[in-house]
Structure 1
Amino acid sequence: MTNTDLSQTSEPTLFDYRPITQRPAIRWPGGARVAAYIGLNVEHFLLDRPSTSIWPGTADLVPDALNYGWRDYGARVGVWRTMDILDRHGIRASVLLNSMVAQRYPQIIEAGRSRDWAWLAHGKTNSILHTGMSLDDERHVLTEIVDTIADATGQRPRGWMGPGLTETLNTPALLAELGLSYVLDWTNDDQPYELNVPGLMSVPYTLELNDLGLFGKGTTGPEFLQIVKDQYEQLHADSADSGRVMALALHPFVTGQPFRAKYLDQALAFLAAQPDIWLTTSDEIAEHYRRTGGQQERRKA
């Protein structure tokens, strides 16, 4: 199926239904059973718009010092603490980057370039969802986002995740037009799979193993550590016949808080010690699947 006209439908023609039990086996490099990556959200928020909040009572105020300051902690402090932890375990981040970060926080870009991070386009700012645009307007917006990130990082993004995981019905085709090869928005699988837009695939992301959701619901640091272990162990068990993907989603203003940092450190130490894991980037997962599993899936379709 190669239907790329997604603009007039109430059904998900972007992807087909194929249960995980009825697919060609995925084999990760080195015989690994689980491919894991860290999705590090590096974002910029606007002062005069409601955004992700820790306390909704002031979210509509301008300025909203309480919530803006909480978010801004990530860029000023939390991301640097998170970098140290990633470095300690030799892990490259897959960075979900708002393009405004390149203009606002060049020091973060410089630090990420020195660490060879993978850079994904994550909209312009997480204060504005990626929705409500005409085709031509969206083409212009996406082009500006991708070009800004490419110019700042020296690496043209291969992947996309919308702010708040938002897309329009035209987004996938426009991303493919710009040369991107995968999206993270559709969190409906433990494996990559081909989308019905030529050249575009879905790579697993997570709303569940996500610090913003977990700690926002009252999860403690020790509970977070156990959740990471449980996620890996179940995916490892599932992967006896075919590889799985484990995404760990982090926000520096959440996990970068001092009292949580040691539990992130312990969680990454656990993952780094596993013999059957491929600790990699979402870019490398997509590329490996493109060269191996994706081809098998297309032949079977």
Structure 2
Amino acid sequence: MENSLYDYSPITEREPLYWPGGARVAFYVGLNVEHFHLGTPSTSLNEATAALVPDPLNHGWRDYGPRVGIWRVMQTLDRHGVRASVLLNSDVCHHYPQIIRAGRERDWAWLAHGRTNSVLPAGTSEEEERAELADIVATIEKSTGTRPRGWLGPALNETFRTPALLAELGLNYVLDWTSDDQPYRLNVPGMLSVPYSVELNDLGLFTMHGMTGPAFVQTVKDQFDQLYADSAESGRVMALALHPFVIGQPFRAPYLDQALAYITGHPDVWVTTSDEIAAHYARTTGGDQA
């Protein structure tokens, strides 16, 4: 099957990309704020118990995020002046309003991230998907006071229709296609892809690869250093994907602090949000997705 959603464009053959203030790297934190259903197999630390109902081991691990982990992560982001780009399940708006209030106080960017990470949409008709997306977006707008401009599907899940349906709702970028270090236009009017990362992602690094805290810091440094070197003539995006139930664990939290200190301590870094990256790219490269 040919990919009709976006065209091939080697990064070596593009016009230079310039960030505000002459920055070389645009950096944002993609903070996954999610709600999981009790009794539904979801993201698990131990697959041996994932099908049990209830599953205290895995549900409790996930539930640590909104109860404790996010508040610890919040303090670290504040310390380094980082506004989160929140990948928000709309169910969070109903279950954890304290998180929404804290994020509004910090002027976080709010992206739609499905209804819940316990259910991956599949097999729905176009009208069913349109109605589901409209409800998700409306719920987030009502709760946060801001209509989402970006989308990350639960487990980066989309249908072939999703970008166009999101564009109908006024969204103008997605994070699901992790194929580049720069934003690019999709073959859907008004829609961009903005870089995200499934590799520089605490969930995979710590739970799938068994990474230690010091190794995590080194990985973040290595990613930043290479992108910084690559950006000598054209800007790059660095996304750091975080989950409060992973990076918010006490023994990992100090390493997020070290990683953010390294990045924010460099000159020529635009510490920003995915919303601002998308808007700047659209505004300065001839598009109309502002």
Name the TM tier (shorter chain). over 0.9
For 1:33-48, list aligned pairs within 5 A.
33-48=24-39
For residue 63 of structure 1, give the secondary structure of its aligned residue in structure 2. Answer: coil
- CA apart distance, 1:15: 0.3
For 1:171-186, list aligned pairs within 5 A.
171-186=162-177
Question: Tell me, which stretches of 5 or more residues in structure 2 are unaligned?
Answer: none
Summarize deviations over 1:127-163 as a string: whole Å, max 9, x none: 1113321000000000000000000000000000000
For residue 42 of structure 2, give the secondary structure of its aligned residue in structure 1. Answer: coil
Q: Is 1:270 paired with 2:262?
A: yes
CA contact (8 A) 1:159 1:184 kept: yes
Question: Where in structure 1 do 4 or more consecutive aligned residues deviate above 6 Å?
Answer: none
Separation in 2, partners of 1:248, 1:292: 24
TM-score (norm 2): 0.98
For 1:1-301, list aligned pairs within 5 A.
10-216=1-207, 217-293=209-285, 295=287
TM-score (norm 1): 0.94
Separation in 1, partners of 2:164, 2:39: 32
Separation in 2, partners of 1:131, 1:244: 33
Separation in 2, partners of 1:287, 1:221: 34
Match of 1:3? none
For residue 254 of structure 1, give the secondary structure of its aligned residue in structure 2. Answer: helix
- CA apart distance, 1:283: 0.1
- CA apart distance, 1:48: 1.9
Separation in 2, partners of 1:16, 1:131: 26
Percent identity, aligned pairs only, is 70
CA contact (8 A) 1:132 1:168 kept: no
CA contact (8 A) 1:158 1:180 kept: yes
Separation in 2, partners of 1:130, 1:256: 28
Separation in 1, partners of 2:166, 2:124: 15
For residue 35 of structure 1, give the secondary structure of its aligned residue in structure 2. Answer: strand
Over aligned residue pairs, what C-alpha RMSD do you find? 0.9
For residue 11 of structure 2, give the secondary structure of its aligned residue in structure 1. Answer: coil
- CA apart distance, 1:293: 2.6
Match of 1:7? none
Separation in 2, partners of 1:129, 1:12: 22
Question: Tell me, which stretches of 5 or more residues in structure 1 are unaligned?
Answer: 1-9, 297-301
Separation in 2, partners of 1:99, 1:18: 34
The one-letter amino acid paired with 2:74 is M
